[in-house]
Structure 1
Amino acid sequence: MNAVKLIGNVGREITVKEFEGGKLATFSLATSETYLNRHKEEVTNTSWHTIVAWGKLAQSCEQLLAKGKLIAVEGRLNYRQYQNKEDQTVKVIEIVASKVEEVSRMRA
Structure 2
Amino acid sequence: MINRVVLVGRLTKNPELRYTPNGVAVTSFTIAVNRPFSNQQGEREADFIPVVVWRRQAENAANFLQKGSLAGVDGRIQTRNYENNEGRRVYITEVVADSVQFLEPKGARHADGGSYAPSSGASSEQQRSSYAPSNNQTNNLGQNQGAPSFEDPFAGDGKPIDISDDDLPF
**TM-score normalized with structure 2 length:** 0.57
1:2-61 per-position Cα deviation (integer Å, ceiling 9, x unaligned): 0000000001111111122420100000001253567xx522111001000011110111
Determine which structure has the larger strand proportion and give its number. 1
Residue in structure 1 matched with residue 13 of structure 2 by the alignment: 12
Q: Which has the larger radius of gyration?
A: 2
Amino acid at match of 1:29: I
**5+ residue gaps, structure 2:** 105-115, 121-170
**Does structure 2 retain, via aligned residues, the 8 Å contact 1:12–1:28?**
yes
* Shift of residue 66, structure 1, vs aligned partner: 0.3
Per the alignment, do residues 57 and 85 of structure 1 end up closer, same or farther by CA in structure 2, a change over 3 Å counting? same
Q: Report percent identity of matched pairs.
A: 25
Determine which structure has the larger helix proportion and give its number. 2
Residue in structure 2 matched with residue 99 of structure 1 by the alignment: 99
Amino acid at match of 2:70: L
**Does structure 2 retain, via aligned residues, the 8 Å contact 1:57–1:99?**
yes
**What is the RMSD of the two structures over their aligned residues, measured on CA atoms?**
2.0
Residue in structure 2 matched with residue 49 of structure 1 by the alignment: 49
Take 1:45 and 1:102, find their aligned partners in 2: how far apart are those partners? Answer: 23
Per the alignment, do residues 102 and 79 of structure 1 end up closer, same or farther by CA in structure 2, a change over 3 Å counting? same
**5+ residue gaps, structure 1:** none
Residue in structure 2 matched with residue 32 of structure 1 by the alignment: 34
Amino acid at match of 1:94: E
Take 2:65 and 2:96, find their aligned partners in 1: how far apart are those partners? Answer: 16
Per the alignment, do residues 87 and 44 of structure 1 end up closer, same or farther by CA in structure 2, a change over 3 Å counting? same
Q: Relative contact order, CA 8 A, sep 6+: which one is greater?
A: 1
**Does structure 2 retain, via aligned residues, the 8 Å contact 1:72–1:102?**
yes
Residue in structure 2 matched with residue 71 of structure 1 by the alignment: 71
Q: Secondary structure at the match of 1:31?
A: strand
Aligned residues between the structures: 106
Take 1:92 and 1:35, find their aligned partners in 2: how far apart are those partners? Answer: 26
Amino acid at match of 2:6: K
**Does structure 1 retain, via aligned residues, the 8 Å contact 2:15–2:29?**
yes
**TM-score normalized with structure 1 length:** 0.88
